C-alpha cells in the first residue's frame, strides 16, 4: 500500500551547495507534492520594514529594540521604538515568529520602506534568516556602487565638450559623416566645406558649426564661450542659493552636531515656508478682563494658552478664510474643522500638538486635552493625528516676557498667530483721559494667496472683541 511522502524540511546545513549558492531564496521550505512529485518553495521569513509614521517622514531612527534577536513575538507585539520627524512611536509586528536578525541597530537610521529586521516563523528558519541578513548587507553595498554611474554622468554634464570628443572621434568617422545641424550645413555651404570630410564632435557624432569653422580654418570667436558660461549662474537664481548658503566652511575650533530627526524636519519645513508669499499684521489688545477671568479659572486647571486657543477658534468660526489653506497654488481649501495647533518647545526640537474642534469644546475639556497632549509631547509619544491635523497655529511667548515677535507660517496652513506678553500700558480714552491698562500685541502671519489684508484685519478685530469681553469663553 503506497503512502504519501512525508513533508521534507531543509535547513541551511542540509541544502545542497547548488541551492545554497542562490538557487533557493533564503527563508524557503521545500514540500513535495504527492501527485506530481515536484518541490514547492514556501517562504517562511518575513521582513519588518521601517514604517511611515507621518506624511512628511522619509526616514526613521531606531531608538531601541523592544525585542532582541532570538526573542519570540506575537502579532501585535511592539518590537521596536522608532523616532520619526515628530515623535517616538512603538512599531508592532503583523506576524508571529522569532526575531532572527536585526538589520538596523539602535541609534541608526533607515529610509521608509527599508527592512530593519527579519522575522522567522520557526527555529528551523533562523539560520536561513541569518544568511538572508548577510545577503541583504552585501546587497546594501551594491546600490552604493550604483550611484557612481549617475555621478559620472553628472560630472560629465557640466562640461559637455571634453567627454564628447574623447568618445566620439572613433565611431563618428565611420558611420555618421554628413550628419550636420542646419546651421552647420549653412556654414559648410558658405565656406565650401565638404561635410563628408568633417568629423563631428557633437552628440552622436553630429557635425556642429564649430566643426565647420575648424575645417574652414576660422578661429573660434572668444565671445560665445563666456556667453555660454554666463547663463548657468543666471539660470540658478534663488532656488539653488538656499542649499548653497547652508554649506559653509567649518569654523576653527567649532563642534559640529548633526540635526536630530525632528530638527531636520523643522529645518525642511521652515525652508519650504520661504516659497509662500506671506504678510504680517499686528494688533494691540487690552487684556484686563481676560487676566481677571484667568485668575478665576486657573485653580480649575485652565491655562492662558487654552483661553487664547478658545478665543482664536471662536473668531475663526466667523472668518473661515483665515482657517483655510492653499495646497496646490491655485485653489482654496476650506477646512470643516477648526483645529488649533499650539507650538511647544521640547527637548531637541519643536512640535505643535493640536486641540481638535476647539470651537466646540468648553475650556475645561480643552484644558484636560491640552494637559494630555503636552504630556505626550514631552515624552515624544504623540500620534500623527495629534500633531499634523492643525488648521491654524498659535505661538505664545508671552510667558517669557516677549512683547512682540513674528512667527513663520507652517506648510499647509493659511495663518499663524504670535502672541506677546501682556504689559501695563498708558492708554488715552476718547475723552483724553489717561489710564493704565494691560495690553498685549499679537502678530498674524498669513498666506497672501488666500488671505488678504482686509480678511486678516477683520479677524483680528473679532479676536480682540472676544479677548476684551471674554465672558463668552466660559459658555
Residues 369, 375, 377, 379, CA torsion sign = negative
According to DSSP, the residues that pair with 327 across neighbouring strands are none
184 contacts: CB under 8 Å, gap ≥ 6 = 195, 207, 208, 209, 211, 212
* Rg from Cα positions in the chain: 33
Q: Which of 95, 191, 319, 448 is catalytic?
A: 448
- Residue 14 CA to residue 117 CA, distance in Å, equals 25
Residue 430 phi/psi, 5-degree rounding, is -70, -20
Nearest to 390 by CA among 445, 333, 442, 352: 352
If you ran DSSP here, which 8-state letter would residue 51 be given?
Answer: P
The distance from CA 7 to its chain's CA centroid, rounded to whole angstroms, is 49
Burial class, 339, CB count within 10 angstroms (exposed 0-12 / middle 13-18 / buried 19+): buried
Q: In the numeric block, which cell numbers belong to residue 345?
A: 518647545
* Contact (Cβ atoms closer than 8 angstroms) between residue 394 and residue 340: yes
The string over 173-212, giving b where at least 16 C-beta atoms fall within 10 Å of a residue's C-beta and e elsewhere, is eeebbeebbeebbebbeeeebebeebbbbbeebbbbbbbb
* Contact (Cβ atoms closer than 8 angstroms) between residue 437 and residue 427: yes
- Please provide the DSSP assignment of 193-254 as one string: --GGGPPP-SGGG-B-HHHHHHHTTPPPPTTHHHHHHSHHHHHS-STTHHHHHH--PPPTT-
* Contact (Cβ atoms closer than 8 angstroms) between residue 95 and residue 46: yes
Nearest to 11 by CA among 26, 21, 32: 26
**How far is the CA of 447 from the CAs of 63, 333, 461, in angstroms?**
37, 12, 19
The yes-or-no answer on residue 183 being catalytic is no
Q: Give the DSSP H or E segment for 187.
A: helix 182-191
What separation, in Å, do the N-terminal and C-terminal C-alpha atoms of the chain show? 87
* Contact (Cβ atoms closer than 8 angstroms) between residue 38 and residue 20: no
Residues marked active site are found at: 448
Amino acid at each position: 500500500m503506497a503512502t504519501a511522502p512525508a513533508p521534507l524540511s531543509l535547513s541551511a546545513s542540509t541544502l545542497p551547495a547548488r541551492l545554497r549558492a542562490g538557487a533557493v531564496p533564503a527563508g524557503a521550505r521545500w514540500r513535495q507534492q504527492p501527485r506530481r512529485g515536484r518541490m514547492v518553495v514556501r517562504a517562511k521569513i518575513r521582513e519588518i520594514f521601517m514604517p511611515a509614521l507621518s506624511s512628511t517622514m522619509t526616514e526613521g531612527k531606531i531608538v531601541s529594540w523592544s525585542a532582541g534577536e532570538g526573542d519570540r513575538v506575537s502579532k501585535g507585539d511592539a518590537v521596536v521604538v522608532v523616532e520619526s520627524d515628530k515623535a517616538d512611536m512603538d512599531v508592532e509586528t503583523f506576524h508571529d515568529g522569532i526575531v532572527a536578525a536585526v538589520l538596523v541597530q539602535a541609534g541608526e537610521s533607515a529610509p521608509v520602506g527599508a527592512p530593519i529586521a527579519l522575522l522567522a516563523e520557526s527555529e528551523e528558519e533562523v539560520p536561513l534568516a541569518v544568511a538572508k541578513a548577510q545577503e541583504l548587507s552585501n546587497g546594501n553595498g551594491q546600490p552604493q556602487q550604483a550611484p557612481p554611474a549617475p555621478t559620472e554622468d553628472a560630472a560629465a554634464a557640466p562640461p559637455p565638450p571634453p567627454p564628447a570628443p574623447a568618445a566620439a572621434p572613433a565611431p563618428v568617422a565611420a558611420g555618421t559623416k554628413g550628419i550636420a545641424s542646419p546651421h552647420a550645413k549653412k556654414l559648410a555651404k558658405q565656406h565650401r566645406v565638404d561635410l563628408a570630410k568633417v568629423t563631428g564632435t557633437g552628440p552622436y557624432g553630429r557635425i556642429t558649426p564649430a566643426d565647420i569653422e575648424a575645417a574652414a580654418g576660422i578661429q573660434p570667436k572668444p565671445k560665445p564661450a563666456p556667453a555660454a558660461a554666463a547663463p548657468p549662474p543666471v539660470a540658478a537664481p534663488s532656488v539653488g542659493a538656499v542649499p548653497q548658503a547652508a554649506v559653509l566652511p567649518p569654523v576653527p575650533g567649532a563642534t559640529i552636531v548633526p540635526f536630530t530627526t525632528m530638527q531636520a524636519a523643522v529645518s525642511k519645513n521652515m525652508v519650504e515656508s520661504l516659497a509662500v508669499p506671506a504678510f504680517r499684521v499686528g494688533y494691540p489688545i487690552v487684556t484686563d478682563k481676560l487676566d481677571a477671568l484667568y485668575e478665576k479659572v486657573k485653580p480649575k486647571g485652565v491655562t492662558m494658552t487654552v483661553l487664547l486657543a478658545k478665543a482664536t477658534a471662536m473668531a475663526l468660526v466667523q472668518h473661515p478664510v483665515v482657517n483655510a489653506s492653499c495646497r496646490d497654488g491655485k485653489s482654496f481649501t476650506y477646512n470643516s474643522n477648526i483645529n488649533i495647533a499650539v507650538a511647544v518647545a521640547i527637548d531637541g526640537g519643536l512640535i505643535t500638538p493640536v486641540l481638535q474642534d476647539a470651537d466646540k469644546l468648553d475650556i475645561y475639556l480643552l484644558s484636560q486635552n491640552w494637559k494630555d497632549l503636552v504630556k505626550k509631547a514631552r515624552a515624544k509619544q504623540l500620534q500623527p493625528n495629534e500633531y499634523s491635523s492643525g488648521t491654524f497655529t498659535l505661538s505664545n511667548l508671552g510667558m517669557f516676557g516677549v512683547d512682540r515677535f513674528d512667527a513663520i507660517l507652517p506648510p499647509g496652513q493659511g495663518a499663524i498667530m504670535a502672541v506677546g506678553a501682556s504689559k501695563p500700558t498708558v492708554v488715552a480714552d476718547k475723552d483724553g483721559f489717561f489710564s493704565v491698562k494691560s495690553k498685549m500685541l499679537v502678530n498674524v502671519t498669513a498666506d497672501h494667496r488666500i488671505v488678504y489684508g482686509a480678511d486678516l484685519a477683520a479677524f483680528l478685530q473679532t479676536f480682540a472683541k472676544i479677548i476684551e469681553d471674554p465672558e463668552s469663553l466660559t459658555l
